[in-house]
Amino acid sequence: MGEPFADSSAIPTYLVSEVARQTVTVALSGIGGDELFGGYPRYLGLRTAAQYQYLPQILRERVAKWSQHLDGGETSRDQAGRLKRFLQDGHLSLQEQYRRWTTFIPAEWNGALWGERLETMFVGDRPLGPTDMLFNQWPSSDPANCAMGVDLQSYLPDDLLRMADRMSMVHSLELRVPFCDHRLLAAALRIPSRVRFTGWQLKGFMRRMLRGLLPDQILRAPKQGFMVPMARWLREDLHEMVHDLLSDDVIRKRGYVKPAYVRWLLKEHENRRRNFSDQLYALIVLELWHRGLHVSSSDRTTVAATS
């Protein structure tokens, strides 16, 4: 990747590309369909949050405090975890709710977060992200449209397209993304949010338009992510490696985040109280990237010395 890249979907993308290249030289990808046609549960969550905001602020604040005692579930993607996050953030603005749902910074962490090298750079203990800058700039009054606009300008090009391009080209596989065709994109952006989510269903409009073109079992199938069992790996198979790469000494040396924060992530994750695989994987990738830079620098020094 040439830089720290903390999306673990790169692993299965790499492997699938490797297998595909054994029989084809060009492949099609569905990347972009979720952002254009409403394929993420968080979009429906934001539409629901807009209705929830009609309740008095004080009532939503009380529910948020009560919801802290709910069990968030084993994964961050199950229904219990989604409900807990929804209720915990329901008293906030829609823009702030969406930022919290898409950030790696846990709202439950109350201590200092950034290490000495970074803490002077951020105001309010967090940096500005795409949601802060883009949400209210999207030309729509519908919060779901604004959320999709944020993802179209940040998550899609900076994560999904970058990952797919690099992981396929490393195997000399040409990957095409027809959903990102500019004419299709322009047409999709004119579809109102209420139409995208026909029947409050993810990709409701797309499913309806594809009737007769795809088998019904595909159109009725629930959304399935492209993930690896990272949460279990970090607790079991990679447990020793995780504690080596994220030791107090290592974290303190890098200076990005506080060692106490990383210890808290590990404890919560290993005790199965929360799934912090995303946060831990990001820190692991960052540390391995640093070590790779050090090795590369040493190799160049050796070559220069011998020549």
Does residue 203 have a pLDDT over 70? yes
Mean pLDDT of the chain: 89
Tell me the per-residue pLDDT of 37-87, one tens digit each, with 9 for 90 and over: 999 999 999 999 999 999 999 999 999 999 887 776 555 456 777 888 899
Of 80-94, 123-137, 172-186, 194-208, give the lowest mean pLDDT range: 123-137
Give the chain's radius of gyration (CA, Å).
Answer: 21
Is a pLDDT exceeding 70 seen at residue 290?
A: yes
Q: Supply the pTM of this predicted model.
A: 0.86
pLDDT, position 9: 94
The predicted-structure confidence for 92-137, as pLDDT tens digits, reads as follows 999 999 998 998 888 888 888 888 878 777 655 555 677 777 888 8
Q: Kindly state the percentage of the chain with pLDDT values over 70.
A: 91
pLDDT at 107: 80
Does the structure show a pLDDT above 70 at 138? yes
